[in-house]
Amino acid sequence: MYRYDEFDHDFVQARVAEFSDQVQRRLSGEITEDQFRPLRLMNGVYLQLHAYMLRIAVPYGTLNGKQLRMLGHIARKYDKGYGHFTTRQNIQFNWPALSDIPVILADLASVEMHAIQTSGNCIRNVTADHFAGAAADEVADPRPYAEILRQWSSVHPEFSFLPRKFKIAVTGAERDRAAIQTHDIGLHLKKNAAGELGFAVYVGGGQGRTPMVARKIRDFLPEADLLSYCTAILRVYNLYGRRDNKYKARIKILVHETGAEEITRQVEAEWQELKDAELKLPEADIRAIEAYFAPPALAGRPEGDAAVKVARLDSKGFSDWLDQNVVTHRHPDYAAVTISLKGIGEVPGDASDSQMEAVADIAERYAFDELRVSHEQNLILPHVARADLKAVYDALVDIGLATANSNLISDIISCPGLDYCALATARSIPIAQEISQRFASLERQREIGELKLKISGCINACGHHHVGHIGILGVEKKGSELYQVTLGGSADENTSVGEIIGRGFSSEEITDAIETIVDTYLGLRLNPQEIFIDAYRRVGPAPFKEALYAGEAKAA
């Protein structure tokens, strides 16, 4: 994985010193809250309902054991013993004292981590496919490009005060696991007919109160032109993006209002001015960054097949977990493992200090010291020898993280909601917990098959409800929580925004409503291979509306 060079170390240390000074001046009253707020936000410090919140960047979701162990240490020493992994592949701590944040940042810097640009109207943490470097279906690891973008966008003077925040995601596979079409810029790394690497470029995707699917503005951008082209996009946005209305300030609105064709023309015109200048990436520089992401030397471990077969017979739990949470690796003797942070009835994305430390141990011992945070709020061990899978499973059982539910209905994305968040209008986590408990049976979940359920506690859509196969949005209506359901959303290579199915449900009704939707799907699917989203796309909303609301119409 990427290691800081001298410049990175100096940059992060300088920021720790600068922000520590700002915190001291704030605590002593030298600067006001109005002066301090933008400074703290640039360093990932928010104020939530109960306390401050610190959001720490996990660049493109990649971590090593030492870093995860440090996160566990911070959770124990400065917080309340746990952290929350987010849909931007970051981690949040919910209870840090402002006065402790300088020392937390110093601890993070010691393991090459920071909280820079995890908030504010700048380019945020660049996200990537969580199976990058391991997936059997990718043309190349997208993370070197995410790292190049990170270096370019860190305190970029021109792009530190954009009209609004700006999010970039990169995938290297046809099967999009990074939700690139819901991002301000989505990059799909691919090869052209000549075998050269480059990107399909998508612009103007986003969620929030105005969900939009990104538009493809270029089918193939040579890799050397990555920064000049992104600069051209950002320049057009910075110039024409609206600053008069916060709710219309994202690039998605500009793309929508201007039209994809005209935006493409503007970007291309800007790019003509930039493409042959200093932003062109030298081949040697790309390969140098790529070398940091060289995969671990994966020795042949052909004994894995036999070991897995025996272990399967021995343990149904292992067999279930293998079927659900373990995916094919590009090396036949290896696999990529999803560590579910969605235990039945647990808080999605939360991990305790001791769980983080234990997972760090497992990664160091069995997974070449590599870990990922997925945007679906799980942890990933990207490279595990099949021969070691049983040992990994046993170690995960010991810490309560062996739930076999990846991609099933209980693998729910949920924002913190009104239990923590100052912006939320309703709670999300208790709804996720209740649904998870209702569908606790693995047999039933398997019968239902792949189903992406996503919950947000307000219109800002941090829980990605718009692109859930089933999405739930919590709002406040007449002083009570009300949950709106959307169906048919998707965040993969066929991204779509879900449609509101009808009137919302109270917190007491919502889990029953979800069960009705699931039962309706089970009753109408063509065969068990037709997953929920495919069935919905085939039949549309009518049967679901009928099942949910027909009784009311008759009663009325």
Distance of CA 475 to the CA centre of its chain: 23
Transcribe 151-206 into DSSP letters: HHHTT-GGGSS-SS-B-EEEE-BSS-SS-GGGSSEEEEEEE-TTS-EEEEEEE--B
Transcribe 463-513 into DSSP letters: T-GGGSSEEEEEEEETTEEEEEEEES-B-STT-B--EE-SS-EETTTHHHH
Residue from 479, 508, 555, 556 that binds other proteins (CB under 8 A)? 479
Which residue, 29 or 157, is less far from other proteins as judged by CB?
A: 29
98 is a site residue for other proteins (CB under 8 A): yes
Q: Contact at 8 Å (CB) between 399 and 355?
A: yes
CA gap 452, 467 in Å, rounded: 9
Stretch that binds other proteins, among 192-200, 405-413, 419-427, 512-520 (CB under 8 A): 419-427
Collapsing DSSP to helix, strand or coil, 526 comes out as coil
CA angle 22, 23, 26 (to 5 degrees): 85
CA gap 450, 472 in Å, rounded: 17
Q: Cα separations (Å) of 236 from 165, 228, 269?
A: 15, 12, 10
- The crossing angle, in degrees rounded to 10, of helices 251-258 and 226-240 is 80
Stretch that binds other proteins, among 43-51, 136-144, 172-180, 403-411 (CB under 8 A): 43-51
430 is a site residue for other proteins (CB under 8 A): yes
Site string for other proteins, 323-352 (x = CB under 8 A): ------------------------x-----
Question: What is the smallest separation between the CB atom of 362 and other proteins, expressed in angstroms?
Answer: 26
26 is a site residue for other proteins (CB under 8 A): yes
Question: What is the smallest separation between the CB atom of 409 and other proteins, expressed in angstroms?
Answer: 19
Q: Contact at 8 Å (CB) between 274 and 228?
A: yes
Residue from 66, 76, 80, 444 that binds other proteins (CB under 8 A)? 80
Which residue, 507 or 516, is less far from other proteins as judged by CB?
A: 507
Residue from 5, 10, 77, 99 that binds other proteins (CB under 8 A)? 99
CA gap 153, 234 in Å, rounded: 11
Nearest to 550 by CA among 542, 537, 471, 512: 542
Stretch that binds other proteins, among 46-54, 57-65, 166-174, 460-468 (CB under 8 A): 46-54
CA gap 426, 475 in Å, rounded: 5
Residue from 167, 383, 427, 466 that binds other proteins (CB under 8 A)? 427
Stretch that binds other proteins, among 322-330, 331-339, 443-451, 479-487 (CB under 8 A): 479-487
Residue from 51, 298, 391, 475 that binds other proteins (CB under 8 A)? 51
Residue from 8, 13, 39, 49 that binds other proteins (CB under 8 A)? 49
Question: What is the smallest separation between the CB atom of 271 and other proteins, expressed in angstroms?
Answer: 44
Question: What is the smallest separation between the CB atom of 141 and other proteins, expressed in angstroms?
Answer: 37
Nearest to 423 by CA among 457, 450, 379: 457
Stretch that binds other proteins, among 83-91, 392-400, 415-423, 463-471 (CB under 8 A): 415-423
21 is a site residue for other proteins (CB under 8 A): no
Which residue, 24 or 494, is less far from other proteins as judged by CB?
A: 24
Interacting residues toward other proteins by CB under 8 A? 26-27, 29, 32-33, 47-52, 80, 95-99, 347, 418-420, 424, 427, 429-430, 433, 476, 479-481
